[in-house]
Structure 1
Amino acid sequence: MEWINNDRRSAWMRAMRAGLAAGALAVTCAIAAPAQAQADKMTPIAIPAQPKAIELGTGALPGATAAESWHSQYGSVFARNVTVATLTPFLPDPAKATGAAVIVAPGGGFRTLSMENEGWQVAQALADRGVAAFVLKYRLNQTPADMAGFERSMTEMFANTARNPRPNPEQAIAGLAPQIADARAAFALVRGRAAEWHVDPDRIGMVGFSAGAMLTMATTLAGQDAKPAFIGTIYGSLAPVTVPADAPPLFVALAADDPFFANGGFGLIESWRSAKRPVEFHLYEQGGHGFGMYQKTTTSTGWFDAFARWMGMHGLLKPASASPGS
């Protein structure tokens, strides 16, 4: 979720906890340099061409009335009111394809999707490493069609988030039925076209950001047929969960100054360890929330390289025939 700039997010959250959400937005705008203020502004844009996007066949979001729309912010692009789920492949050069694949789930509070910073750029970076990547544009909760109404709805959501306990992935499963169905369909599509895309159907994982991390964990815990071979949750919930006996290896990255998830303990890590399942946890001193692929001066910028090394440790950056057992 990237409603405010990472470098000002913690100050904004403190003000919001004091019940000054509207004032915080005004202060944020007042202290920003003109160029930064312009970058922070949500600006409607035309829906980008997505010629490689494949509809997942999960149907239109029930009861949806607002049409999909996009906007730019922070030099990136975001989708909202997504009513039809799609999957966009980013395939590596066949000469260096490893056979591993990753479903990439952007975040945005289930109201918007950070398609560039947490989607396309992540997928391209994976493809550059020889890993087939697939950006999941999952269906979203409806928001006001007009930009002003959407901005107000996001301010209210973050105010409530600051005051109320966050649900853990197990609690969220029932309310994420459309999104989990989209994730399951994504796994089914990649496995169904594995030969065409040079993917090993037994080495398909999932990585998610914020709400996408919640979806990644919920998809894993829901069982059924997705069965990711490995998962990554980037600035997602660390609430404890009941870990399946066959839970996949887990990679977790979070900044210690994350305003949403950094102060609730490390239950998720402890759950995985207690179940004797593989887990790697990176707690960065700084980075805020929503850092994704943005290049920052904080060490949180190194999360992707750490994730790639972790995949390599599990033999996922080489063809299966050349990979050691993980």
Structure 2
Amino acid sequence: MKRIALALLLAAALPLSQAAPKVLPLWPEGVPGAKPALGPERFENGRVSNISEPTITVYGPAVDRQNGTAVIICPGGGYVRESFQREGEQYATWLSTLGVTSFVLKYRLQEFGHPAPLQDVLRAVRLVRSKAAEFHVRADRIGVMGSSAGGHLAATAGTLFDNPLGRTGAQLDAVSARPDFLMLMYPVITMDGPAVHTGSRKALIGGAPSAETVQLMSVEKQVTKDTPPTLLIHTQEDKSVPVENSIMFYQALTRAAVPAEMYLFEHGAHGMGMKPGLGTASNWPRRAEEWLRERGLLDAVR
């Protein structure tokens, strides 16, 4: 736990390859299905909502540790808001100490609904991959990390990367949107059954979705052998998004012979982020670092 706290302190002090985070529009040619009447975004207590202009915010790695790995981070918030600071900026700061370049995704929410978030996360993967040389990352080391509903969005990137609903007819559609790995924090997974998070379901697919949409967005049912290697982290104390969500996804990954690792902790309420004082659950960044290192994702660029 002391090591994690020290890492966060170092992250604030270490020089990054970029002096300040750079914000890039996700759709410079125009947001698909734009809704200019929505008005300005709302930002309060580190959370953003009413998003009409999706972006990625770029956080460079510590200069002396750059390894070419990239992570697109999807903050959670039930598809109603996004916990941009706690589940976005904090993760990016931690990842920078590991030499990883991070891209915090600001994606469209309930005002648009499905498939807008899917389009945004796949566009982010395509954009980062198409500009890999510019960002000094490797095109085969691009992962997606997400928490809660952001974990659902990350999981859709890993299962629906070839789905037609994720394309808009843009030139970038020709670039592969498949992530190379997933990191899912207490993710929403299913859109059906007793483990469903009803708030996320309603915000994303509405109050009366078709059976086909429920099936499609229950991502445990969309896992194939092409789903990327996945790390899952969840807790027993999570009363908002039951731990069964992660278990179902892990079981689906296992059936498809997809490399997967899962840590289920006793303590830690939903949305714990990098909060200290939660027993072994607060050590999840160390477990995640070990997983990244074991997969060669923290090896220096050759």
Matched, 1:216 2:154: yes
Q: Distance in 1 between matches of 2:114 and 2:285?
A: 27
Tell me if the contact between 2:21 and 2:59 (Cα under 8 Å) persists in the aligned partners.
Answer: no
**Quick one: structure 1 residues 297 and 264, their matched pair in 2 at CA, closer, same or farther if it must change by over 3 Å?**
closer
1:218 offset after TM fit, Å?
1.0
Task: Identify which of 123, 130, 139 aligns with 1:192.
Answer: 130
Letter in 2 for 1:299: T
Q: Distance in 2 between matches of 1:314 and 1:320?
A: 14
* Count of equivalent residues: 237
Task: Identify which of 48, 55, 59 aligns with 2:25.
Answer: 55
Alignment of 1:154-165 (within 5 A): none
Name which of structure 1's ranges 78-87 and 257-266 shifts more when overlaid on structure 2. Answer: 257-266
Letter in 2 for 1:242: Q
1:135 offset after TM fit, Å?
0.4
Tell me if the contact between 2:235 and 2:243 (Cα under 8 Å) persists in the aligned partners.
Answer: no
Aligned match of 2:208: none
1:279 offset after TM fit, Å?
0.6
1:91 offset after TM fit, Å?
0.8
Letter in 1 for 2:70: A
Aligned match of 1:159: none
Alignment of 1:73-92 (within 5 A): 77-92=46-61
Tell me if the contact between 2:22 and 2:57 (Cα under 8 Å) persists in the aligned partners.
Answer: yes
Q: Distance in 2 between matches of 1:210 and 1:270?
A: 18
Aligned match of 2:178: 227
Tell me if the contact between 1:238 and 1:269 (Cα under 8 Å) persists in the aligned partners.
Answer: no
Q: Distance in 2 between matches of 1:223 and 1:60?
A: 18
Matched, 1:70 2:43: yes
Show structure 1 runs of 5+ residues with no match.
Answer: 1-49, 144-174, 322-326
1:67 offset after TM fit, Å?
2.2
Letter in 2 for 1:59: V
Letter in 2 for 1:249: P
Q: Distance in 1 between matches of 2:279 and 2:39?
A: 38
Letter in 2 for 1:93: A
Aligned match of 1:11: none
1:260 offset after TM fit, Å?
2.7
Q: Distance in 2 between matches of 1:98 and 1:197?
A: 12
Show structure 2 runs of 5+ residues with no match.
Answer: 1-19, 163-175, 191-219
Percent sequence identity over aligned pairs: 32
- In the superposition, the TM-score normalised over structure 1's length comes to 0.68
SS of equivalent to 1:176: coil
1:288 offset after TM fit, Å?
1.1
Aligned match of 1:313: 294
Aligned match of 1:161: none
Tell me if the contact between 2:62 and 2:98 (Cα under 8 Å) persists in the aligned partners.
Answer: no
1:66 offset after TM fit, Å?
4.0
